[in-house]
Each structure stands twice: as structure tokens, then as C-alpha cells.
Amino acid sequence: AFSMPQALAFVNPNSPKSLGVSSANTLKTQLEAKRNPIGEIALTAAAFASVFLTGTADMNMALAADGDGGASNTANSKITTGGASTLQSGRTIAITRGVNMDRSDFSKQNLKGVAFQQSIVRDANFQGSNLLGASFFDATLNGSNFEDADMTQVNLEMAQLSRANMKNTVAREMYVGGATIFDDIANIENSDWTDTFLSKYQKKLLCGHPTAKGTNPVTGVDTRESLMCID
């Protein structure tokens, strides 16, 4: 499962403000003080983005971050293309690369613009979360739950979504490459794929899925129409 010190070890060691391993326990202790009643770390999306996106986050700034946030400041602006090749504040994003976040619970969180690229995020729960502009470039998402999530403008280039649940998902304007794997996806019922450009193979695969039906409860768009299926 997700390890806070492990993820912190990926910050930029060359930055004067970077958080090295020696600071990891301090930040972890302060973050754990924000735990909610069921024991989950109540980490705001802005603090999460400050630590995991910039690689040069100031610890006090990260802990003080709040608001609707997500990754909403200039350094953490939402990712719409490019994934791992995208630059933010002159730095290549390479933050959670290789971090194992299997079975993590990110449900009902504001994760706007957060970068999960090249991470292992199998059987994780993103149900009901705001993932607007988040990046899952080259991430392993097998078995993860995106039901009721807003995945508008999410980067899924080279991502693997076998067994993933995208029921009721708003999947509009996503960045999908030919290497994005939807094979064996579990559920796309009531999902909205408007303006998400798919390869012929991906389109055929999704249109032929037994759950390719219904209407998205948020946008009111028919799933098969959004996929431009030929019936």
C-alpha cells in the first residue's frame, strides 16, 4: 500500500527546499495529525500536489495549503498533454514514479491535477473523486475503481486499465494514446467519453463491451453516443 516516506524519497534532492528522507518522518507525523475519524490521512489535494508534483515543496507551505486547490497554482497547473514529458516550473515531472500505491483509498477526494504517472496503482479506490487534469501516464491501474469520478482531461497515455471500473465516470477530453490498454476493462456503463479520441481498436473494444450502455448521471450524455458507436 501507499507509503508516505517512500513517496517523499522521490523529491528532488538538488533543491534547497526539497524534502529528503530525513524530513519524511516529520512531515508524516504532521500529516497524520490531520487524520479523520476513520484513520485515513486527511491530506488536502493541494498539500498532496505540493509534495508529489513539484518535487521542491516547502514543508510548511504544503501543510498550510487548502481551498478547493487540487494542483491549482502555477507550479502545479493541470496536466492536459505530455505526461512524463510535461514541464512545470522548469522541472520534468517524475514524482511518484515506481511508487506502489496498490489498494490505496483516494475516494471522494479533490485530486485535481495530481500526478500519478508511472506509478503502480492497482485495485485502488478513486470512487467519486475529482481527477480533473490528473496524470496517469504509463501507470498501472488494473482493478482500480473510478466509479462516479470526474476524469475530464486526465492523461491516460500508456496506462493499463484492465479490470478497472469506470461506471458513471465522466471521461471527457481524456488524453488517450494508442498504447493505452482498455482490454478486460470491467465496467463502462453510464460513462461519458465525449471528445476523448480513441484508436479504431479501442473504440471497437469499448463499443463491443457488454456494459457500453446507459446515460451519464452528471452530463446526461448517452454512453454509446459519446463513444460514437455505430449501432
Q: What is the dihedral of CA 184, 185, 188, 194, to 10 degrees?
A: -100
Q: Residue 49: phi, psi to the nearest 5? A: -65, -40
Q: Extract the C-alpha cell encoding 28.
A: 508524516
Q: Extract the C-alpha cell encoding 180.
A: 493505452
The kind and range of the H/E element at 223 are helix 223-226
Half-sphere exposure of 119 (CA within 13 A, CB side): 31
CA–CA separation, 50 vs 53, rounded Å?
A: 6
CA–CA separation, 116 vs 10, rounded Å?
A: 13
pLDDT of residue 209: 98
94 Cβ contact partners less than 8 Å away, ≥ 6 residues apart: 10, 55, 84, 118
Beta bridge partners of 130: 110, 150
pLDDT of residue 161: 98
CB 46, CB 65: distance < 8 Å: yes
CA–CA separation, 122 vs 106, rounded Å?
A: 12
pLDDT of residue 99: 83
Residues of the chain with pLDDT under 50: 1-67, 71-94
Place of cell 450524455: 221
pLDDT of residue 15: 33
> Which sign, positive or negative, has the C-alpha torsion 94, 96, 100, 101?
negative
pLDDT of residue 70: 53
User: Over the stretch 115-142, which tens digit does the pLDDT of each residue have?
Assistant: 998 999 999 999 999 999 999 999 999 9
